[in-house]
């Protein structure tokens, strides 16, 4: 019973961290990264498909992403999809190649990005703590129904607290790494 609650809590905490990593990947660092376009979908033969299934997406250099559609007719659709994705990117087309150039980030913009990162990390911490709260409530409910002893409840709560501490430490480490990446000129 306790093991099942702890396992469920661990899975939910891991999901919270995965969501945070996905959110971090969407944040521009001033360097070109194809992961910024992972969530962009484009209409391809009547279906919405990820951009990388309709075109070849690659980084040309540190500040440029090039997109080569598999079909010439897709250029306008891909351009439109990137614009409507609300990523703040301005694609420019040269024939069949779409290029996205990232301007160098100013110090002020870098600091704004760090604030956004810290807010995302705090959201992940709150999600992990909510999982802890739910698990502890489950332990209390089991104790109330006399399915576990008080010692088992305290042991379970200690395990959940250890899991929480580990996950918060992972969040803090990811935040530190991403901050360093953004602040590096």
30-55, pLDDT tens digit by residue? Answer: 677 787 788 888 988 888 898 888 88
pLDDT of residue 95: 84
pLDDT of residue 112: 84
All structural domains of the chain with their residue ranges: 2-26+106-183, 34-101
Instruction: Say which residue, 11 or 72, is predicted with more confidence.
Output: 11
Look up the pTM and report it. Answer: 0.71
Q: How far is CA 174 from CA 12, 121, 140, in A?
A: 18, 9, 33
Same fold, 2-26+106-183 and 34-101: no
The CATH code of domain 2-26+106-183 reads: 1.10.132.20
pLDDT of residue 181: 83
pLDDT at 103 over 80: no
Class of domain 34-101: alpha beta
């Amino acid at each position: 019973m306790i093991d099942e609650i702890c396992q469920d809590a661990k899975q939910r905490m891991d999901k919270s961290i995965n969501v945070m990593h996905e959110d971090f990947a969407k944040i521009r660092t001033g360097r070109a990264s194809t992961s910024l376009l992972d969530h962009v979908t484009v209409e391809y033969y009547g279906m919405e498909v990820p951009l990388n299934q309709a075109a070849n997406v690659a980084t040309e250099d540190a500040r440029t992403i090039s997109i080569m559609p598999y079909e010439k007719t897709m250029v306008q659709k891909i351009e439109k999809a990137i614009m409507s994705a609300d990523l703040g990117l301005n694609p420019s087309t040269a024939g069949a190649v779409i290029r996205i150039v990232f301007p160098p980030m100013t110090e002020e913009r870098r600091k704004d990005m760090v604030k956004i990162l810290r807010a995302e990390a705090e959201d992940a911490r709150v999600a992990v703590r909510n999982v802890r709260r739910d698990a502890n409530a489950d332990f209390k409910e089991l104790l109330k129904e006399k399915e576990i002893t008080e010692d088992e409840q305290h042991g379970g709560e200690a395990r959940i607290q250890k899991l929480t501490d580990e996950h918060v430490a992972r969040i803090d480490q990811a935040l530190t790494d991403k901050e360093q990446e953004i602040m590096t000129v």
